[in-house]
Amino acid sequence: MGIRLHRRAVNERVDELLEKVGASDYANAPVGLLSGGEQQRLRIAQALATDPELLLCDEALLSLDLNHQYIVSELVNQQRVDSGSAVVFVTHDINPIIDHVDRILYLAGGSFKIGTPDEVMRSEVFSELYGADIEVLRSNGRIIVTGRPDNTHHISSQEGLIP
């Protein structure tokens, strides 16, 4: 193995990222003793450490509390801004990242819609994708999706009964 150049710079970058994701206190702990959220924060720091050109975030917010979801979202966005990284973010909860998103690919029921958040995150789009009456509400910067069964698809109590 050759001599590692810039070891100090690497260690400083690692320490900086661990601090940013709130993982400094357990950076040297055995991974098997860490909670799912603690492990997830270490994985985020590890992914950002190399300044990747492309950052694939597949459920990167999984197991994180709400505060850390927003911290991680901001860190990933900062990576995009500072380094020009392309980011693909797969998530079931768009709220922590919505302020950093320029395009959405929403998949549901074998169909999809792609566009800006304002084009995709709409009641009409969700109703079409899910084939049900869906309402998309916005409150304090958060998106709330509510739905109710489509009454036209209910079977009446008399259908299917043998007289």
pLDDT at 4 over 90: no
Instruction: Please tell me whether residue 115 adopts helix, strand or coil conformation.
Output: strand
Residues 73-96: tens digit of each pLDDT: 999 999 999 999 999 999 999 999
Query: What pLDDT does residue 14 have?
Result: 84
What is the per-residue DSSP string for 121-141?
SSHHHHHHHHTSEEEEEEETT
Residues 19-51: tens digit of each pLDDT: 988 888 988 899 889 999 999 999 999 899 888
Q: How far apart are CA 40 and CA 29, in angstroms?
A: 14
Query: What pLDDT does residue 69 have?
Result: 94
Residue 13, token pair as written in the block: 């970058």
Strand stretches in the chain, DSSP E: 54-58, 86-90, 104-108, 111-115, 133-139, 142-148
Higher pLDDT, 4 or 55: 55
The arithmetic mean of pLDDT across residues 141-150, rounded, is: 82
Which residues on neighbouring strands pair with residue 58, listed in sequence order?
Answer: 90
The arithmetic mean of pLDDT across residues 134-156, rounded, is: 75
pLDDT at 149 over 70: no
What's the whole-number average pLDDT of the chain?
Answer: 86
Phi then psi for residue 123, to 5 deg, are -55, -45
The arithmetic mean of pLDDT across residues 144-161, rounded, is: 56
Q: How far apart are CA 113 and CA 73, in angstroms?
A: 23
